[in-house]
Structure formats: structure tokens, C-alpha cells
Amino acid sequence: MQSTVKDLIENWAGERITQVESLGGGCITQAKRLCTESGKEYFVKTAQSHHGMFDAEANGLRELEKPGVIRIPEVLLQHDSFLLLEYISPGTPRDRTTFFRTFGARFARLHQFTAPEFGFYENNFIGSTPQANSPSRQEARNWSEFYYNKRLLFQLKLAEKNGAASPEMIRGFAKLESAIHKILGGTDEPPSLLHGDLWSGNFLTDDSGEPCLIDPAVYYGHREADLAMTSLFGGFSNEFYQSYQETFPLIADYEYREPLYQLYHVMNHLNLFGSGYYGQALSILRFYQLC
């Protein structure tokens, strides 16, 4: 840990850090557990390149706290070069079925926290990719417009810039622009508070066996977009979805719309990690007979 980061945290805490334990991390940030001389524990994230990433994450965590329905790590100190959070001691579910039923119900209640418009008061990140959240007047009230322009088209333009978008993909997206209103038609709901990037690596089990959400890409959108990500890379049991449905039932034919919501994340992975995700993106467009 850089000495500047250590000094800033010690100054805030009013005591010395006596132990630093690496917790690993992804390709974007590094995570560590800190212990002070009085025995207090903290969680810190650092990164070589941040560009406002930690401010955005801190604001997203604070937004997820507002409904008060699921545990979120408390933001303690944010800085351009690091984010200091409450350290949540990891645990294991006492019963996996009960855990996922609890998680599903709480996630549904999170989605019942709504806003008058789609988007968010600031742009943030999905992984290390910028995520545009500021809607036009029309997009603020029209989910199909918001989702196509601020999510799918944004990723397509990035893929074109990266040389990852073929003519076939570009033609498919052009057809999707006309088709998306029909695909998502009849699903109008108030904008829900979304985690934005919920997969199996972005939740924890605390030492009481309770679910906790971490690493958000928060905005207000259609809740189906959040659920679709949970099934893209696995990690959630059938009990999670059953409990969600019992708490906040989905509109009919969600399974038909799910791949379209997964397309955003597949395109983001294409842009972040390369051509291994190209075929999966194209198969989603073909599912809707767009190419």
C-alpha cells in the first residue's frame, strides 16, 4: 500500500495501521484488509488509474443504502486514489436455500425503491468502462430509448472504436433500434434502483450468514436489466428467483426479454476483454432475428 494512502487513512483514523492483508482483486482495483493498533478493521480499494471511479462507487453504495433492505458496506473515506469502506467479515450461509430465499426477497424490495426518471444524477462505471446515466428529456421517461441509447448504442460505438464490431453486428444493432420498442413493449414500470452489475462476484455473505451487495454500477432503470445480469454468469440458485417472484412478480415473458438485457454486459465484456465475447453478442442479435 502506498505510503500516501496509508498516511491519509491513519490521519483519518487517528491511529496507526499495524497490519495490511492483501485480498486480491480484479484487473481494475486492488483490495486490502487493514487493521489498526486498537484492533479496528477496514477495507480499502486502490487502483493505478481511477478517473473518478472511487467517487462513483462511493455514491453508488450510498444510493443502495437508502432503501434499508439489504446490507451495504458503509463508506468511511473516499479519495481520488482510494476508497475506504467498512470491513465485512466473510461468512458462509447456515443454509444455502434460506440464504438465497432471503437474498431474492431483499433484492426484490430493493427494486421497489423507485425514482421518477431513468438514469442517475452522475455518470459512473461498469467495470472500468464509463457508464452514461444522464438522459435526454425523452430518455428520462422512455425506458426503451434510454436502454438503447445509453446502454447498447454506447457499447456498440465503443466496439467500433476498438475494432471489435463487424458490419454484421452494426447492421444488427441498426435493426434493433427499430425493434426494441416492440421487444420491450408492455413492460412499463417506474424506474427501479438497480445495482447495475450483480453477478456472483459482487455479493458477499457476512459473518451472520446475511447477503451484502458490493461493487455497484448504480442507476435507476427497469429491474429486468438487473435480474438478467444475475443469470449471465451463474451463481444464483433457483430459490433466489422463486423468492424474488413471490415478493415482486415479474411481467409475463421475461425470459424472452432477458437476452436483450444481457447484451449490454456481453458487449461490455467484448470491449474490456476482447473477441471471445463477439460470438455471444451476435447470437443474441440472431435470437431476435436481427442478423
- Name the residues annotated as catalytic: 197
**Cβ proximity of 265 and 229 under 8 Å:** yes
| Cβ atoms within 10 Å, residue 112 | 14
Other C-beta atoms lying within 10 Å of the C-beta of residue 175 = 14
**200 Cβ contact list (under 8 Å, min separation 6):** 233, 234, 235, 236
Nearest residue to 271 via CA among 123, 93, 108, 152 = 152
Phi, psi (5° rounding) for residue 47?
-155, 150
Count CB-CB contacts under 10 A for residue 11.
10
Q: Which three cell numbers stand for residue 175?
A: 435493426
Contact 281, 266 (CB under 8 A): yes
Q: How far is CA 85 from the centre of its chain?
A: 18
Asked whether the beta carbons of 23 and 46 are under 8 A apart, the reply is no
How far apart, in Å, are the Cα atoms of 60 and each of 74, 197, 205, 235? 11, 11, 20, 23
**DSSP readout, 193-228?**
EE-S--SGGGEEEBTTS-EEE-S---EEE-HHHHHH
